[in-house]
Amino acid sequence: MAAAWRRLGGLAAAALVMATAAPSGEAAPQDSNDFVIVDCRLPPKTRKLGTQHIYQVAGQLIRTPAKDCEIRGGEYTLDDPGSYAGAIKRWTGPAEGGDPQAQTNLGALYERSNPPDYAQAASWYKKASDLNFAPAEIALGELYELGRGVPKDPVQALNLYRKASGISGKALDYIEPATDAQKPQQQGAAPPTTSSAAAPPSIEIVYPLATAGSDQTKLRVRAAATSSTLVGRIVAHADIKEATADG
């Protein structure tokens, strides 16, 4: 009886193998990762010089599918958390969970990747900016200023910079562009000739609207309401080593 059960067990095992085997002529299924192109370092070569000296040299570095690298005994990087792709993978979970710092980090990674993905960067900066996270507001403002991943919008950029700096009040809705006479000189361009000495450094008021007729104002901003907060910048024809602001 025991012998009969053993024979039956053998037949059952054979039937199971036949049932699970791939049909004749069909290749066994392969892992899609086998076709990923990787930087593969092949095994070192053993060389012989003359009749006695035997030494090894570093293996060749090639780009080949992962499976080809494996069967040739090569080595390749399976996971690199320090790469941009690895870092994006690591920060995506916390960012999707609503962490503004993670969202800002993810935006920076997309912005600095090669090639950069400015649209994705702006999207993640926007999520963190909506949570009033100042670093994201500054980063998003720069994208608006340069027109990367979003339409170029200097007004929106300035509003984001103001928000990140803690400046309250009504958002700006218009910036008057500088005239040709008011635009700063490009680097290397000859300074304009004038009979008088170079103008001394001055403070240029950016917000609120500067007094009409001020020849020092290169950028004038219109706001619906005026607050006690002033935003300005220093205009000078030479380097300034020190600036002091009083009350």
pTM of the entire structure? Answer: 0.49
Could you report the per-residue pLDDT of 3-53, keeping only the tens digit for each? Answer: 544 544 444 444 443 444 445 555 555 677 778 898 999 999 999 998 889
Q: Single out the residue of 106, 173, 105, 104 nearest to residue 137, CA to CA.
A: 104
pLDDT digits (tens, 9 = 90+) for 104-160: 999 999 999 989 999 999 999 999 999 999 999 999 999 999 999 999 999 999 999
The runs of H, that is alpha helices, within the chain are 2-20, 66-71, 84-96, 100-112, 118-129, 134-146, 154-164
Instruction: For residue 246, give every residue at least 6 positions away whose Cβ sits within 8 Å of its Cβ, in sequence order, or none.
Output: none
Sign of CA dihedral 150, 151, 157, 163: negative
Q: Are 86 and 79 in contact (CB under 8 A)?
A: yes
Question: 187-197 pLDDT, tens per residue?
Answer: 666 655 554 45
